[in-house]
Amino acid sequence: MLFQVKMDVHIPLDMPSDKASEIKAIEKAYSQDLQRQGKWRHIWRITGQYSNISIFDVESNEELHNILQGLPLYPYMDIQVTALNRHPSSIREDDT
């Protein structure tokens, strides 16, 4: 199942910078592991924002939910999830 996920990050301004850096480093490792597994297929920054648009390829809604809740920055995020389906006009066979 493919999902588009928009993540807006709002780290508290009073969070110590060393703590924020530690959380970001753990988040990076977590996301890169999911990318290697093929579950986090794409990630793009949104210019001018502390946000990203990502594409996930997971087995179920619950799997995506668990992945998102496992993000170290999850407590500081606003997340919007959109389920995606293959478009019948697509010429690509590998976009499922």
Q: Per-domain residue ranges for the chain?
A: 2-84
pLDDT digit string, tens, across residues 10-66:
999 999 999 999 999 999 999 999 999 999 999 999 999 999 999 999 999 999 999
Average pLDDT over residues 83-90: 89
Q: Quickly list DSSP for the chain.
A: -EEEEEEEE---TTS-HHHHHHHHHHHHHHHHHHHHHTSEEEEEEPTTSSEEEEEEE-S-HHHHHHHHHT-TTGGGEEEEEEEE---TT---SS--
CATH superfamily of 2-84: Dimeric alpha+beta barrel (3.30.70.1060)
Binned at pLDDT 50, 70 and 90, residue 95 comes out as low
Q: Residue 96: what pLDDT?
A: 62
pTM, 2 dp? 0.90
Q: Parallel, antiparallel, or unpaired for β 77-84 and 51-57?
A: unpaired
